[in-house]
Amino acid sequence: MRSSALQLFRSAAATLALLGALACNTPQTTVRRSSLMDYLYPKEKSAPAPNPAGARLKLPLKLGIAFVPGGSASWRVQGLLAPGQEKPLLDVVRQSFKDKPWVSEIKLVPSTYLRPAGGFENMDQVARMYGVDVMALVSVDQVQHTDPRWYSFTYLSIVGAYVLPGDANDTSTLIDAAVYDVASHTFLLRAPGQSRMKGSSTWAHREVQLREHSAQGLQAAMTDLAKNLDAEVASFKAEIASGDRKDVDVVDRQGVSLRQSGGQNFGGSFTWIEALGALLLLGAALRWRRA
């Protein structure tokens, strides 16, 4: 009798162990998402037509930077970041605007002040609270997958969709920063940042590794975003100076338009191409005088 009971116990233990092993091998996908579209346009399937009046920016600008909150079916960034981690990440973006002559102040706005699906009304309230002219809204899409089978995920941004591939024990992160003029709600520019972390671990250590990769992925994607943002600002300046962005004008303290100055009142200095052009013109003028 005792032998039968012991055999039954061992059989039950083996079954539980087998079920545990099967559970450990079950694919797992964790999605953490904050969507700019859900925040600014909660009732729209796509961004509406831009304000026909456009934006008139007066330099120097006061800039606010904030993480976009998630909706009820999504997440709030505080749930992903450890206490005190939000500010260092936003500081990476702030460094891209630091020491720019056309920016007078940069304010880091805690994400707690932005409510899910708050729309432009909420953005306006936050902007008035912090006294900023433009807002850089940072959204995040992070997917962690622990299955060896290939997969992908799609993120819808303000300018279109991105498809990011994945793999086993994979953390893919996409961060998108969109800059808006507060007064007119005009979209000015945006820049993406991406990262991908791969690794493997024991089941017991998996959650620890996923948390580490989540934090590392955010930091790497934010650094990539800052690099891309610098290039996008230069492109934004060139488009306004050339007249390609007809919905946006920028004026300096003296009221001189960026289009009139050819961009000189936006960056504070010549680019090497502009400097070379000026030297060529000066040389031509000297030759003309000698003749």
Distance from C-alpha of 82 to C-alpha of 218, rounded to nearest angstrom: 12
pLDDT of 200 over the 50 cut: yes
Q: Which residues pair with 156 in a beta bridge?
A: 161
Tokens 């007066």 correspond to what residue?
A: 58
Once rounded to an integer, what is the mean pLDDT over residues 89-98? 86
Distances (CA, A) of 87 to 67, 201, 219, 275: 10, 30, 12, 38
- As beta bridge partners, residue 157 has 160
- Tens digits of residue pLDDT in 25-51: 467 777 788 889 889 998 877 777 777
Query: Does residue 24 surpass a pLDDT of 80?
Result: no
Query: For residue 137, what pLDDT band results from cuts at 50, 70 and 90?
Result: very high
User: How much is the pTM?
Assistant: 0.73
**What's the rounded Cα separation, in Å, for the pair 191 and 231?**
9
Within 10 A of 65 (CB to CB), how many other CB atoms are there? 25
Pick from 20-24, 258-262, 265-269: least confident = 20-24
Q: Where are the alpha helices (DSSP H) in 2-108?
A: 2-24, 36-40, 86-97
- Dig out the tokens for 25 from the structure: 């091998």
Q: Which of 12-16, 76-80, 231-235 has the lowest mean pLDDT?
A: 12-16
